[in-house]
Amino acid sequence: MFVSPMGTPMPTVTLLGIAQDGGRPHPGCQRPCCEGLGPEDVQHPVSLGIVDEHGQGHLIEATRALGEQLRIWGHPPLRSVLLTHAHFGHVDGLGLFGRETLNASGLNLYVSSSMQNLIERTPQWALMLDQGVFSTTSISSGVSHALSDEVHVEPIAVPHRAELSDMHAFVVRGPNRSVLFLPDHDRWDDTLAHHGVSTIREWLTQLKVDVALVDGTFWSSDELSGRSQLEVPHPPVAESLERLGPRRDGDPDIIFIHLNHTNPLYNTTSEQHQTLMDMGWTVGQQGMTFTL
C-alpha cells in the first residue's frame, strides 16, 4: 500500500500484463520470438489492477492468467471487474470467478450494453449472473463511475472491431493523477476523428491524463505474416511515434502495452526499443505501478 507524506493510503494502478491476447510465448509459435524464453520472459495478456484508498481492488480485464496476475497484484480484496470489449484475451478469465475456482460473490461487473447482451447470451457467463457471482453496471462513453470516494473511472468509446461488442478505453482518475488504459483500437485517424481532434496530443489533453497506456500491438505491419492490417487493425508503434515525435515538456507519460509476441519492443537491445526510448516514451513492464 502506497501512503502519502501525511501517512494516508494512496490509490494505485498496477499493470498486470503487457501482452496481446495470446500472451508470450504465443500458443503455437515456434519462431525465435517465442522459443527458448525463460520465466522472466513470460508476459501475461494485458490487464490493469486498481487499488482504492480503502485497499479494495478493481480489475480491468479478466484474462486466463488471473491467478498469476492476482499474485503480482498482492491479492487485494476484489470488489469489481471492468471490461473494455469482448475479444478473447480480455474476457477468457471470466469463468475463473465462478464456483469451480474463486467462488466469488457480488462482484460489480462494469460493461457496455452490447457486452452485457453477449454475457447474457453466453450460457456459462449467464449462469454466473444467475448465481450472483456478478451484478452488472452499464457503462457508456463519457459517464464517470465512482469506484470509491477518491477513484473514478470514465469509459471512452473508441473504434475497434465490433464482431461481438463495442470497445471502451478507461480513464482512471484519482485525487492527484489520471491514467488512460487504451489496449486496443483500430486506427489513429478513426479514433481521433471519433473524438473531434486531429492529433494524439490534442486528444490526451482533452482527456486530461497524466499517464497513457496505449495500444502498441505491432511495431509495424510487417509482423502480420501475410494478413492485412484490415484483418488485424491496430496502429503500429512506428506510426504512433511518427505522429508524436519526441516528447515535449508537459506531455503525459506514454507507455506502449498490448504487445504482440512478434513485437521487437520486447527486446530491450533492439533498434526499435532504443528509438522509442530516445524519443522519451516507454514500453510497459509487468508489475509497473502508478499512484493516483
Q: Which residue from 224, 218, 207 is spatially nearest to 170, judged by alpha carbons? A: 207
> What pLDDT, in 10s, does the model give residues 249-269?
999 999 999 999 999 999 999
pTM of the model: 0.94
Share of the chain above pLDDT 70, in %: 93
Tell me the mean pLDDT per 10 residues along the chain, length 292. Answer: 67 97 92 90 96 98 97 97 92 96 96 95 95 96 95 94 84 98 93 96 98 95 59 85 97 97 95 98 98 98
- C-alpha distances (whole Å) from 124 to each of 99, 128, 130, 200 are 11, 7, 10, 39
Q: Which residue from 65, 131, 143 is spatially nearest to 98, judged by alpha carbons? A: 131
The torsion defined by the Cα of 138, 136, 77 and 25, in degrees rounded to 10, comes to -80
Q: List domains and CATH numbers for the chain.
A: 2-291 (3.60.15.10)
> What pLDDT, in 10s, does the model give residues 184-196?
998 999 999 999 9
Residue that has been written with the C-alpha cell 506502449 in this structure: 256
Bridge partners, residue 173, by sequence: 152, 178
